[in-house]
Amino acid sequence: MKVIRTKNYQEMSKMAAEFILNKINSSSKLTLGLATGGTPVQTYHYLAQDYREHQTSYQHVTTFNLDEYIGLAKSDPNSYHYYMDKHFFSKVNIPTNQTFIPNGLAENLEMECYEYDELIKKHHGIDLQILGLGKNGHVGFNEPGTAFDQHTHIVELTNSTIQANARFFNDINQVPKRAITMGIGSIMESKEILLLVSGTEKNEALNKLLHGEIDEQFPASILNQHENVTIIADEDAIINTNL
């Protein structure tokens, strides 16, 4: 894994946006895997800024988001559909029918998972997957203990993830208890992975990722077995990691 060190969150985000833009500009067709959460917000902001200033086109880009809560409507401000629209899709010229996010309101959720994987396959897999890192090592909503070979599936969120995500809701009881997520298997099939890590609260997780064992109890550890991973991390996340 290649680690790029940045001074702070802003610089991490700028570098991540440049990394993504580089792929967009050098490909005639690109399938991007996208993450939500706090970490990539500023990256999306820089991509939107680039669009305003340089009109980088997204007509040839297709996106697949990692996950979505079960039970939230697309119009719910806490849904990942809403987040993506607000921070990114509405700011660039990506055709709506080229943006995919699991449907957490699907009548048949198992079928939704199966079809999501089929759709990714139909697009010949993900060229570049953007990831954030959970404090307990989760990626997507793949919580500790998730089998490394799983594809898109339904998860029960752990208390630590519910608590971490409660900051986006008015009340912790409003945080959905289940989600649909691309599995570790789906993520590992991406041709390239860009992991963004920022802040002291991710310090321990980054240390474990870089120096710990590969273990299903720490899902991100499997990234050590992927041949094309770049980590962009800021100083706060890197402190005490021996880098």
**Where on the chain is the footprint of ligand F6R (CB under 6 A)?**
35-39, 66-67, 132-134, 138-141
Least distance (Å) between residue 206 CB and ligand F6R: 12
Beta bridge partners of 65: 34
State which residue, 62 or 136, has the beta carbon closest to ligand F6R: 136
- For residues 180 and 99, give the distance between their C-alpha atoms in angstroms, rounded to a whole number: 16
Whether the Cβ atoms of residue 197 and residue 234 lie closer than 8 Å to each other: yes
Count Cβ atoms below 10 Å from residue 14 Cβ, excluding itself.
17
Least distance (Å) between residue 83 CB and ligand F6R: 9
Least distance (Å) between residue 49 CB and ligand F6R: 20
Q: Which of 143, 151, 153, 203 is catalytic?
A: 143
Q: H or E element: which one contains 197?
A: strand 192-197
Residue 143 annotated among the catalytic residues of the structure: yes
Least distance (Å) between residue 214 CB and ligand F6R: 18
Structure tokens at 235: 């100083």
Count Cβ atoms below 10 Å from residue 225 Cβ, excluding itself.
11
State which residue, 104 or 134, has the beta carbon closest to ligand F6R: 134
Name the residue with the smallest CB distance to ligand F6R. Answer: 132
Residue 136 annotated among the catalytic residues of the structure: yes
Least distance (Å) between residue 210 CB and ligand F6R: 17
State which residue, 88 or 141, has the beta carbon closest to ligand F6R: 141
Q: Which of 81, 87, 136, 234 is catalytic?
A: 136
- For residues 213 and 34, give the distance between their C-alpha atoms in angstroms, rounded to a whole number: 26
Structure tokens at 183: 């599995």
Q: How many residues does the chain have?
A: 243
Structure tokens at 113: 């998972």
- For residues 163 and 155, give the distance between their C-alpha atoms in angstroms, rounded to a whole number: 16
Least distance (Å) between residue 53 CB and ligand F6R: 26
Count Cβ atoms below 10 Å from residue 185 Cβ, excluding itself.
18
State which residue, 30 or 133, has the beta carbon closest to ligand F6R: 133
State which residue, 72 or 133, has the beta carbon closest to ligand F6R: 133
Q: Which of 68, 81, 112, 138 is catalytic?
A: 138
Give residues with Cβ within 8 angstroms of 1, minimum separation 6: 210, 223, 224, 226, 229, 230, 231
State which residue, 47 or 133, has the beta carbon closest to ligand F6R: 133
Indicate the residue type of 97.
N
Active-site residues: which are they? 67, 136, 138, 143
